[in-house]
Amino acid sequence: MSNIRATTISDETGNGPIALTKQYTAKAWFNFSTLVNPPLLASSVNVSSLTDGGAEITVNLTNAMSNNTYAPVCTAGHSATNPSNRSIAAGITNASSFETEAYTTANAQVECHCYGAVFGDLA
């Protein structure tokens, strides 16, 4: 068995590290909770902040996507005090942010833990 150890993997010209702009990996991921006000971003990659819009939470990306046709994929978990089923929907607004809305079958709700990833090409 072989091991590969490196501190930098350079691009084809040898001038810099490779960039994950045209590969099929998540370009951002996030974990946030709306159980507190304002919503708390617990951990993330390529997410700069959240904007609380009431029922909608806007996820702001640190590095923009190349266009607005990327795919944010989201899921939601319930809280221990309110264990009803939750779903989360994502709607693309522009290349540098998108809105999420957590809801139950009865009505829109924002009390949940939200998780997601973003797939597409970086700008």
pLDDT at 106: 63
Instruction: Output DSSP code: residue 30.
Output: E
- Cis? peptide before 38, omega within 30° of 0: yes
- 28 in Cβ contact with 117 (< 8 Å): yes
Residues in the chain predicted with pLDDT less than 70, given as ranges, are 19-23, 78-85, 104-110
Residue pointed to by tokens 């290349």: 95
pLDDT at 6: 74
pLDDT at 82: 61
pLDDT at 92: 77
pLDDT at 105: 62
pLDDT at 91: 82
The span from the CA of 33 to the CA of 112, in Å, is 6
Structural domain boundaries of the chain? Answer: 28-119
pLDDT at 50: 95
The span from the CA of 4 to the CA of 121, in Å, is 27
